[in-house]
Structure 1
């Protein structure tokens, strides 16, 4: 149907169902107008107002076909700055978007303690994105044959060649297999340049699966975990967007360890009191005859990128630029997201240090009661 030029008529068309809400951008060729019309239609259909949700002041063209579908506005989150964070000899002002009072102030306090003690050291120990399809055979014996084929070093170069065709930057690093009955779970690990790279690795996995069908035509692909149209049942061996032991043990994305020694004059009390309260991910111990505190965080699955996704949006791009990691590095591909991961770990180290200090000093509840409670009378705020 021909679209009416009047916005009011367009809203009525969306409300009545004559014009699908999802088609407004393509039919109008104006992303802001599409969001405005959709927003009004939603309010009429629900009988509820979204007046407090901003509409103007956002570039809706920048998210067309990516980031968000059928937008009706955007959410504003305050951004504070913690730092300077002294990490590997360099200073970083760390932007933090949050609505939790005390969080930026606490991280800033941790940054100050780290700075006063000579800074933190951070090391990237692994860098590999993963994707894990699950395939099924008629017998466990047949599944085992594919397992042996994939794990044979003599076949790795051929599989790498097939996998790497998916991208200029994707490079296969390893294949790990696990069997459960007739099912074979195949975990592919690859480097992804400056992107986080989950789409990149999914394409590479699809290439390999297509290649394997030639020698294993009886292989039934059950799903690419988080992947494409083949997805019917996730393999869950990645493991994507969920806590999993395999990601702690093997890592996913950037695996980083960050440490600092907080000197006694900064700690100002017996640091050994903190030890029992934190171990595994965050570890603390008294060093130098109990005078100083050694603190470390080990983060095996930091999934970050500096290109792709929402990194091109104005707010996100500005924060990446502030950290000096915006976009791709021409001199050293992959170095920007690696640096971003270390900054994340360093910021976590600062936050953990301040948190444990607040707990040991009995300041945690007091600070939240003081700074994390609104002084406005909510009964006077219109709904």
Structure 2
């Protein structure tokens, strides 16, 4: 189809008409924008059968001092009040010397599954993998597939005659799934042809990675970037900005995020709303949004210091992020990474940009946790959402004809374009 048209936009326009016919001439596709977009970055990289793109609002929170830099955090969301709440958390932290972070680990994983004729052969293979000399042999093979992928470990788990391998590697500034998969594929081929001809490769992924699923393994061992951060918030800031007190926050965090989550049997969900912040930053910076399920695993901990201030920390062992590849190449997403100061690859120290992004995300989660817990303590959550998370527009009725659809769409567009006098708003007072 692409060769029949002079431009990509004509190709997409044709596909939209065809898709509309497939849907019994449903005109809803007309509401999906498709012009003024560089599809050359999307083709063979981000999406197939492209019809257009989905605009999602982007706001920002900040400033927030993260280690040695002050950043403004772009957040792409349709949840009203989220950015305002984040902004309040940032303000409280900014008045209290900011956030300090530490990087606990950096590894992407891939977990293939292989099969042998019986359990004895499987066990012999496991022992062979665990031999240091053999590991070094496989490491050289793996590392030959990329300038940036560096194998750091191979773990083996046996289940009958099946062996589950877990390859761990650093992958520079890329999130690294494609990179590590390429290396694992070559290692498996070498194992099969040169050492274990009876080995059958069942799958490149046997779910031992563990990718796009919450797991105890990733929660304990880590995957992607493992980060922890902390801040000390002065009690005067807790009172003046967050409208609560230190003792109430510590008690709520214990009963909600620790006891409540444990009672519910959550896995890595010892937090108030980490996924909100992770998803918003993932959308704005072009991350793999499906990785939110693991990347949002977080332990939030609060305690009262000796002088009555609040110490808050967030530990996130599974932040699967990158600053090159995938959606990070798209113009808007790349711009958001540039705002954060970590776009593209770090030539001098490969991997530093992705690590920096993970630190910023962890600090942003801390700001979001601080503000939401404070809102719950003060009883402001429902009031703020009723004020900032409700649409005043009446929902459009389903169009029963072309004329009614166009009329409704025209009326909505006119309302959206009509100038409104909107007074300046201080986000720090949303929950006051």
Q: What is the TM-score of this pair, normalised by structure 1?
A: 0.89
RMSD between superposed Cα atoms in Å? 1.5
Are 2:11 and 1:34 equivalent residues in the alignment? yes
SS at match of 1:291: coil
Conservation of the 8 A alpha-carbon contact between 1:175 and 1:187: yes
SS at match of 1:296: strand
Are 2:115 and 1:136 equivalent residues in the alignment? yes
Are 2:81 and 1:102 equivalent residues in the alignment? yes
Q: Separation in 1 of the partners of 2:98 and 2:51? A: 44
Partner of 2:30: 51
Q: Separation in 2 of the partners of 1:137 and 1:26? A: 48
Which residue among 216, 226, 237 is the counterpart of 1:266?
237
Are 2:347 and 1:321 equivalent residues in the alignment? no
Name structure 2 gaps, 5 residues minimum: 240-244, 259-269, 271-297, 398-406, 410-432
Residues 27 and 192 of structure 1: is their aligned pair in 2 closer, same or farther, counting only changes over 3 Å? farther
Are 2:48 and 1:77 equivalent residues in the alignment? no
Conservation of the 8 A alpha-carbon contact between 2:253 and 2:373: no
Conservation of the 8 A alpha-carbon contact between 1:126 and 1:251: yes
CA displacement, residues 93-131 of structure 1 (integer Å, 9 cap, x when unaligned): 000000100111111111111111111111111000000
Residues 103 and 219 of structure 1: is their aligned pair in 2 closer, same or farther, counting only changes over 3 Å? same
CA displacement, residues 240-279 of structure 1 (integer Å, 9 cap, x when unaligned): 1111111111111111111111111111213433332223
Are 2:102 and 1:123 equivalent residues in the alignment? yes
Residues 288 and 180 of structure 1: is their aligned pair in 2 closer, same or farther, counting only changes over 3 Å? same
CA displacement, residues 41-97 of structure 1 (integer Å, 9 cap, x when unaligned): 111221211121111111111111110001111100110010011111310000000
Report the Cα offset of residue 158 of structure 1. Answer: 0.9
Partner of 1:282: 299
Which residue among 111, 114, 128 is the counterpart of 1:149?
128
Conservation of the 8 A alpha-carbon contact between 1:173 and 1:191: yes
Partner of 1:3: none
Conservation of the 8 A alpha-carbon contact between 2:305 and 2:311: no
Give the alignment of 1:111-260 within 5 angstroms.
111-213=90-192, 214-225=194-205, 235-260=206-231
Conservation of the 8 A alpha-carbon contact between 2:152 and 2:170: yes
CA displacement, residues 360-381 of structure 1 (integer Å, 9 cap, x when unaligned): 1111111111111001122579
Name structure 1 gaps, 5 residues minimum: 1-23, 226-234
Are 2:319 and 1:302 equivalent residues in the alignment? yes
Alignment size in residue pairs: 351
SS at match of 2:31: coil
Are 2:348 and 1:370 equivalent residues in the alignment? no
SS at match of 1:327: coil
Q: Separation in 2 of the partners of 1:379 and 1:309? A: 35
Partner of 2:366: 349
Residues 98 and 241 of structure 1: is their aligned pair in 2 closer, same or farther, counting only changes over 3 Å? same
Partner of 2:39: 60
Q: Separation in 2 of the partners of 1:289 and 1:256? A: 26
Higher relative contact order (CA 8 A, sep 6+): 2
Q: Separation in 1 of the partners of 2:396 and 2:174? A: 46
Q: Separation in 1 of the partners of 2:52 and 2:45? A: 15
Conservation of the 8 A alpha-carbon contact between 1:129 and 1:197: yes
Are 2:348 and 1:336 equivalent residues in the alignment? no
Q: Separation in 2 of the partners of 1:297 and 1:101? A: 24
Q: Separation in 2 of the partners of 1:256 and 1:88? A: 13
Q: Separation in 1 of the partners of 2:342 and 2:253? A: 34
Single out whichever of 372-381 and 149-158 deviates more from structure 2: 372-381
